Structures are given as C-alpha cells and as structure tokens.
Structure 1
Amino acid sequence: MTSNMQAAHTAATNAESYRRAGRIKVLVIAASFVGLLLLAGSVAITGISETSLGTLFAVVVEKLTFGAVAASVDQQQARVLLHLRLPRVVMAMIAGASLSFAGVLMQAITRNPLVSPYTIGVSSAAAFGASIAIMFGVGFSAAGLYFVPLTAFLFAFGCAILVFSMAWLRGMGGQTMILTGIALMYLFSAMTAAVQFVATQEQLARVVHWTFGSLNGIRWDAVGVAAIAMAVALPLAQLKAWQFNALTTAGDDVARSLGIDVAVLRGLAVFLSVTVSAVVISFTGVIGFVGLIGPHVARLLIGADHRYLLPFSCICGAVLLLLADTLGRIAFSPTVIPVGIVVAFVGVPVFLHLVLSRRSEYFS
C-alpha cells in the first residue's frame, strides 16, 4: 500500500513539474514575442531619415483606427514609415518566421536537423523560375508586376510536388526526400547558371540581384499574401504538434502503432512548409539558412516539444532576419547589402557547427 502511495505521489509530482515547465515555456514565448515587437519598432525608426517611436506609434494607431485617430506628425516621415520602413520590417518578420517554420516541419518529417527549404530544392527551383521569367518572359504576364514572383512560386511548388511524389513512390522515407531534394537542388542551380550564361548584361543583373535575396521595394500587398499563408499554416501545424513529437522521437513504426498516418502527416507538413516558404521566396528572392538556424536556436532554448517549438522557432526566425536586414541597411549606409548575403555570413558557420556536432539529442 505504501509503495502504491509513493508511486502515486511521484506521478503527481512529475505531472506538476511537467505543467510548470509548460507554463514557463509559454511565458518565454510570450516575452519573446513582446521583445520581437519592441525590436521591430526600434528597427523601423532606424535609418538615414530619423524618426521617433512617438511618430511610429501615432502612424500605426491612425492606420489601425482607419483614420479615426488622426496622427499629428510630419507627413514626409509618415510616408517614409508607411511605404518604406514598415513594409520592409513586417515582411522581414513574416519571412523569417515562415522560413524557420518550414525548417521545423521539414526537420520533423525527415528526423534530420540539417534539412531546410533550401536543402530539398525549393529555393533553387524558385530561382530558376524567376530567372526564366526575367530572361524570356515566361510566366503569367497578365499578373503585371507579379509575373516573376508567381512564376518563381509555381516552380518552387512544382519542385516540392516532384520531391514528394518520388519519395512517396519509394515509401515516403525521410532520407529519400532529402536525397531527391539535393539532386533537384543541383539540377535547378545548373539550369539557373545556364540561363545566366546566355543572359544580357541587364537581364543578368536582375537575375543575380533576385538570387541574392532582398527586402528592397517590398509592398504591402506582398506582405498581406505572406501573412495570410502563415496565418493559415501555423494553426494547422500546431494541431498536429503531438504527432510531430511522436514521429521525431520514436520514428515511423512507433508513430503508426499510435494510430498516426505517417504518409498523410508528411504530406501535410510538406504542403504547409513549401507553401509558406515558396510564397516568401517568390517575393524576396533566395534567402538561405534561416530555415536551418531558426529551428536550431529555438530547439536549444526551448526544447524539441513541437507545441512550443513551432511558435518559438517563428519568433527566432523573425528576429534573425530582422537583425540581418537591419545590419545590411546600416553597415555600409547608404549602400544596402541584400539580406540573403548577410544571412549567409552567419549561416555558414552555424551550418558547419551543426554538421560537426550532429547528435541524436537534437530530437530528444
């Protein structure tokens, strides 16, 4: 009887400890989100044209109230904030969150911490689609300014479907997806290089600039499309957090024994991750390593439980890309370094660290 009481007491203590740890993680996520908003506000007022937090607050309040609360600020500063700074800052947060979110899902279904949207060829396919759209005008010209992003999106999505289909024919194994994606990444990279080889000087400049990855000239409609994609994808993935935990921790066989349809789960993860990453890449160009670094940092700070890892990785990715874009804007001002280049300088050392220190504890 005494041993049963001790066992019950131990179980109750463990359950309380588990709940307490969960509450702490929720508080960490909430505090991190508030910190992200504060960082975004400070970044929005940083630049050649000096503005203040008061001006930013007044402009945001005016827009959120649809003009009911008029902002008594300098109109030039208001235009700079509304049409240059804020779209760029918001897109940096959404893009970083989307790429990091996509990285978490891809790493979950492949059980490999070195997988990202770039690894399975999505970014290379988008670059090829944008290249041929710029070079030959192949795309939906009726879309006007958006035929290059739309063509890039279609190629990225087509590449993901091809990877998924080939992996499905081989039994939906994670390793098959990785190998297929790497092969297609090299193929699309070679085709992009071939397009650049025959391009004119003006076309080559546009293609190269797009492949660098940049937030220059981001418009609010592009921000809206990326935000909608992320707003739909994150809740859907959050509903499957327990299933991702089972898959990454115990593998396919145990997940199936728990009643999880692994093929459907992988299909959903591929669809969500590719959709959000392809939408972002089609507007910003190729931005690598965020989908690798963001999940890694989040996993180190908050653990591998996907209930908390998914939202926290979005915050980590947003912070990373926001800081990288700010550094690119102010390091050699007025020259702006594309954010894709800045992220690469940070991403390569981290990637090498992951390769050299890869351990099974990543998903423990």
Structure 2
Amino acid sequence: MSNATEAIEAYTTQQSRRKLVLLGGVVVLLAVSVHAMLSGSIDLSASAVIGSLSGSGSPFAQRVVWQIRLPRVLGGAIAGAGLAYVGTAMQSVLRNPLGAPYTLGISQAAAFGAALSIAVRGVESAAGSIFGPYLTTATAFALALGSTSVILLLIRFKNASPETLILTGVALGAVFNAGLTVIQYLASDTEVAAIVYWTFGDLGRLTWPTVAIMAVGVLTSAGYFSLRGWQYTVLDAGDETAASLGVDVPRLRTVGMLVGAFGTAVVISFVGIIGFIGLVAPHIARKVVGTDERILLPASGLVGAILLVGADTAARAAFDPLSLPVGVLTAFLGAPLFVYLVIAGREHW
C-alpha cells in the first residue's frame, strides 16, 4: 500500500512540475514577444509600444505596432507552434525522431504548391484577389496531401521502416525542389522575385487577415492532436500495445498525417519554408517534460513559438536596418542543434 501511495505521490509531483514548466514556457514566450515588439529599424520605447497597444500612442507609433510588429510577432508564435505540433505528432505517428514536415518532403510539397499558385495566377492576382490567400493555401495543401499520401502508402502496403520513410521524404523534397526550380525558370521576372523571396521563409509579409486564417488552421490541427494526446502516448509503446488498448492505429496514423499536412500547408502558404522548427522543438521539449504526449504537445508548441519569434527578432537585429529572412537563420542554427540533440539524447528514443 505504501508503494502505491508513493507512486501516486511521485506521479502527482511529476505532473505538477510539468505544469510549472509549461507556465514557465508561457512566461518566456511573453518575454521574447515583448522584446520582439521593442525591436526593429524604427526605434520605439517601451512606453510608446504600451501606449500604442492601449490606443493612446501617436498615430505613427500605432501604425508601426498594430500593422507591422504585432501581426509579425503573433503570426510568428502561431506558425512556430503549428510547425512544432505537427512535428511532435509525426514523430509519434512514425515512431521516428527524424519525422517532421521538412524531412518528409511535406514542406517542400506545400512550397511547390504555393509557388505554382503564384506563378499561374500572377503576383498581382495572388496578392490582390479576395480569394488569393485561400487559393494559395488550397494549392499548397493539395500538393502536401500528395506527398503525405506517398508516405501513407509506404506504411500501409510496404510496411516501410522509419529509415525508408525518411529517405523517401528526402527524395520527395528533392523532386518538389526541382519542380520549384522549373517554375522559377519559366516564370516572369516579377513572379520569380516574389517566389524566391517567399521561399526564403519570412514573417514580414504577415497581415491581420493572413494571421487570422493561419490561426484557424493551426488551432484546428493542434486541437486534433491535443485531443489524441493519450492515444499518441500509447502509440509510442508500439502498434500492438496501442491496439490492445483499443486504439485504431491505422486510422490514427492516417488522420494524423493528413491533419499534419493541412497544418503545414496553412503555415507555409503564408510564411514560406521555415525548416527545423518542427524538427528541433519536439526534441527540446521532450528533454524537459518527458514523453507523455498530453504534456509534450503543448510544451513543443511553446518551444516552437519561442524559437521562431526569437529567431525572427535575431534575424532582424543581425543586419539592421535590413531584415534577414528567418528561414535562413533557422536553417543555419537548426541543423547543428538537431545533430547535437540526436547525439546527446538518443536515450529518449
């Protein structure tokens, strides 16, 4: 009886610690966001930013805060959280620490779809049409769905190993990158400039309407994954164990991959390709809160949001007054960090 009581107390203590970690993550995200609001080529004091948020600042400061910085910071947090949620779910679904939209070719497929939409409809049509953002997202999702379908078919009919899935994802990514090159070669100079700038991955193009659309997509995918947190935790123990506990493994895996493709497409269609956030954030969160997906998913979302907002702030400060696309910085920093996490943290897998 004492052993059972001790186990319950240990579990309660562990859960309390994890909740405190989540609360600490929220505090860190708020601090990073405040710093991002104060950073930029236009020098605004903390009092000017606070005054603008409350509606009492100067018209110029209010425009800078409300039309430029706040959509950028909020959109960056949403995009980072969305990519991290998808990455965490895919690593669980595939039982593969390398699983993420970027390594499975889904990000590249979505990027190809969005670029195709821009090239076919033209820059002015894609930007100015009321249906522009929706059509770009729909095209990105359709191509991401195609890449996801290949992965699902390999799982379903070939019982592919995790290594095979990643190699297939790399091959798919190469194919879609080649297609992107063809589009750039055939497009006009204006379209090429728009596509190249877009593929860098940048938060500067975000506006309130696009942030709202992205928020709906990310909340939808994150909500689904959160509701399936226990099932994903069980799935980590193996398909047989999960099935014995009543989990419909094929359905969980298929729907999870499709929802992940949707969440990835929504983010990428608005901010471009941002690699390694969905790959690294789950590993960082896993080292802090453990492998319980019910806690790991929101923790990964917080880490992803912190990483992307922080990286965007650093990218803006590095070449001030110019702004380095955040996708370039995440690629430079994410690759070596991920290699370190894999080497130093293999015991978690």
Q: Specify if TM > 0.5.
A: yes
Whether the 8 Å contact between 1:167 and 1:176 is mirrored in structure 2 is no
Distance 1:172 1:31, change over 3 A: same
Q: Residue 33 of structure 1: which of 23, 26, 29 is its match? A: 26
Match of 2:89 in 1: 105
Q: Residue 169 of structure 2: which of 181, 185, 190 is its match? A: 181
- Counterparts of 1:125-274 in structure 2, within 5 Å, are 125-137=109-121, 143-146=130-133, 147-170=135-158, 177-248=165-236, 250-274=237-261
Q: Separation in 1 of the partners of 2:107 and 2:177?
A: 9
Q: Separation in 2 of the partners of 1:138 and 1:253?
A: 50
Q: Residue 47 of structure 1: which of 40, 48, 52 is its match? A: 40
Whether the 8 Å contact between 1:98 and 1:314 is mirrored in structure 2 is yes
Match of 1:94 in 2: 78
Q: Separation in 2 of the partners of 1:132 and 1:231?
A: 26
Q: Once the two structures are superposed, what CA deviation does each residue of 1:96-127 show, in whole Å capped at 9, x if it has no partner?
A: 11111111000001111111101111111122
Q: Separation in 1 of the partners of 2:315 and 2:139?
A: 27
Is residue 344 of structure 1 aligned with residue 327 of structure 2? no
Whether the 8 Å contact between 1:105 and 1:269 is mirrored in structure 2 is yes
Q: Which has the higher contact order (CA 8 A, sep 6+)?
A: 2
User: Is 278-287 or 165-174 further displaced after alignment?
Assistant: 165-174
Measured after TM superposition, the shift of residue 164 of structure 1 is 2.4
User: Is 153-162 or 37-46 further displaced after alignment?
Assistant: 153-162
Is residue 362 of structure 1 aligned with residue 345 of structure 2? no
Q: Secondary structure at the match of 2:98?
A: coil
Whether the 8 Å contact between 2:90 and 2:257 is mirrored in structure 1 is yes
Whether the 8 Å contact between 1:328 and 1:339 is mirrored in structure 2 is yes
Q: Separation in 2 of the partners of 1:357 and 1:322?
A: 26
Distance 1:47 1:187, change over 3 A: same
Q: Which blocks of at least 5 consecutive residues in structure 2 are unaligned?
A: none
Measured after TM superposition, the shift of residue 143 of structure 1 is 4.7
Q: Secondary structure at the match of 1:118?
A: coil
Q: Separation in 2 of the partners of 1:241 and 1:135?
A: 39
Whether the 8 Å contact between 1:106 and 1:115 is mirrored in structure 2 is yes
User: Is 133-142 or 149-158 further displaced after alignment?
Assistant: 133-142
Distance 1:258 1:172, change over 3 A: farther
User: Is 130-139 or 223-232 further displaced after alignment?
Assistant: 130-139
Q: Which blocks of at least 5 consecutive residues in structure 1 are unaligned?
A: 1-7, 62-70
Whether the 8 Å contact between 2:33 and 2:309 is mirrored in structure 1 is yes
Match of 1:114 in 2: 98
Q: Separation in 2 of the partners of 1:314 and 1:164?
A: 25
Q: Once the two structures are superposed, what CA deviation does each residue of 1:237-288 show, in whole Å capped at 9, x if it has no partner?
A: 222222211211x211111122211111112321332222210001001110
Q: Separation in 2 of the partners of 1:306 and 1:44?
A: 32
User: Is 162-171 or 118-127 further displaced after alignment?
Assistant: 162-171
Whether the 8 Å contact between 1:125 and 1:155 is mirrored in structure 2 is yes
Whether the 8 Å contact between 2:92 and 2:232 is mirrored in structure 1 is yes
Match of 2:17 in 1: 24
Aligned length: 345
Measured after TM superposition, the shift of residue 226 of structure 1 is 1.6
Distance 1:72 1:202, change over 3 A: closer
Q: Separation in 2 of the partners of 1:184 and 1:54?
A: 49
Q: Secondary structure at the match of 2:99?
A: coil
Match of 1:335 in 2: 322
Percent identity between matched residues is 37
TM, length-normalised to structure 1 = 0.87
Report the structure number with the largest CA radius of gyration: 1
Measured after TM superposition, the shift of residue 354 of structure 1 is 4.3
TM, length-normalised to structure 2 = 0.91
User: Is 77-86 or 48-57 further displaced after alignment?
Assistant: 48-57
Distance 1:43 1:138, change over 3 A: closer
Q: Residue 323 of structure 1: which of 293, 310, 313 is its match? A: 310
Measured after TM superposition, the shift of residue 166 of structure 1 is 4.4
User: Is 107-116 or 232-241 further displaced after alignment?
Assistant: 232-241
Q: Aligned-pair RMSD on alpha carbons?
A: 2.3
**Which letter does structure 1 place at the counterpart of 2:86?**
A
Q: Residue 81 of structure 1: which of 54, 62, 65 is its match? A: 65
Q: Separation in 2 of the partners of 1:302 and 1:22?
A: 9
Whether the 8 Å contact between 2:141 and 2:266 is mirrored in structure 1 is yes
Is residue 277 of structure 1 aligned with residue 264 of structure 2? yes
Distance 1:132 1:231, change over 3 A: closer
User: Is 50-59 or 95-104 further displaced after alignment?
Assistant: 50-59
Distance 1:229 1:172, change over 3 A: farther
User: Is 87-96 or 220-229 further displaced after alignment?
Assistant: 220-229
